[in-house]
């Protein structure tokens, strides 16, 4: 830790989760290490990047001084496979996976983040949509075209939107998580 604290250049620490842990212990090594680093890191030019395997743990680490959070290598693998299938989308994925802001930008335009549904919507009961397309378009316009849902986590299962989204009905409950991308 002394080497990082004495480093005058900008540096990055990448914390990766152990995929071989039991389901109820996912990300525990990252969270433990993050607590240690946060309590000992004095160099403010150090960026922290954290990989989480369980999206529910995002709320645990959200108050730490983390520049970026990667939710599972499954999402990265999916993005890279999409890039292989559609090479013309390379600028989009480059922006998505780049840590630095472009000159003049105020925010990271292609940031992916997860929010609990109850933090986004007011629930009396579950919210139902006739299709995923209806949900995504409605969300997109109600958020002033700033972000769009690309998936969700329900009952600890990650589901990214794909296929014909006009034919799949969609229901959100207050304990679900919505995966969003800034545009």
pLDDT tens digits, one per residue of 110-160 = 567 788 899 899 888 899 999 999 999 999 999 888 888 988 988 878 788
Which of 101, 133, 163 is the last residue before a domain boundary? 101
Do the beta carbons of residue 52 and residue 17 sit within 8 Å? yes
pLDDT tens figures, 20-44: 777 667 678 888 888 888 888 887 7
Checking if the pLDDT of 106 tops 70, the result is no
Mean pLDDT to the nearest integer, 46-66: 74
- Tally of structural domains, the chain: 2
Higher pLDDT, 6 or 142: 142
Give yes or no: residues 63 and 93 share one domain: yes
- pTM greater than the 0.85 cutoff: no
Give yes or no: residues 96 and 115 share one domain: no
State the Cα torsion 129-133-135-137 to the nearest 10°. -140
Do the beta carbons of residue 138 and residue 170 sit within 8 Å? no
Which of 101, 126, 152 is the last residue before a domain boundary? 101
Helix (H) / strand (E) containing 71: strand 68-71
Give yes or no: residues 122 and 92 share one domain: no
- Any residues with CB less than 8 A from the CB of 162 and at least 6 apart, and which? none
| Domain range for 3 | 1-101
């Amino acid at each position: 830790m002394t080497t990082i604290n004495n480093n005058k250049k900008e540096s990055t620490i990448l914390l990766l989760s152990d995929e071989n842990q039991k389901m109820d212990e996912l990300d525990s090594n990252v969270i433990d290490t993050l607590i240690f680093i946060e309590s000992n890191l004095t160099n403010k030019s150090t960026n922290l990047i954290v990989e989480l395997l369980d999206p529910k743990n995002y709320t645990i680490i959200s108050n730490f001084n983390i520049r970026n959070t990667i939710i599972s290598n499954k999402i990265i693998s999916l993005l890279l496979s999409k890039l292989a299938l559609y090479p013309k989308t390379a600028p989009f994925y480059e922006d998505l996976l780049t840590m630095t802001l472009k000159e003049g930008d105020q925010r990271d335009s292609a940031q992916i983040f997860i929010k609990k549904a109850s933090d986004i919507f007011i629930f009396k009961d579950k919210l139902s949509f006739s299709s995923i397309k209806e949900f995504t378009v409605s969300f997109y316009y109600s958020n002033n075209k700033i972000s769009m849902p690309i998936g969700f986590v329900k009952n600890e299962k990650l589901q990214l939107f794909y296929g014909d989204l006009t034919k799949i009905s969609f229901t959100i409950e207050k304990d679900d998580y919505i995966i969003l991308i800034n545009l």
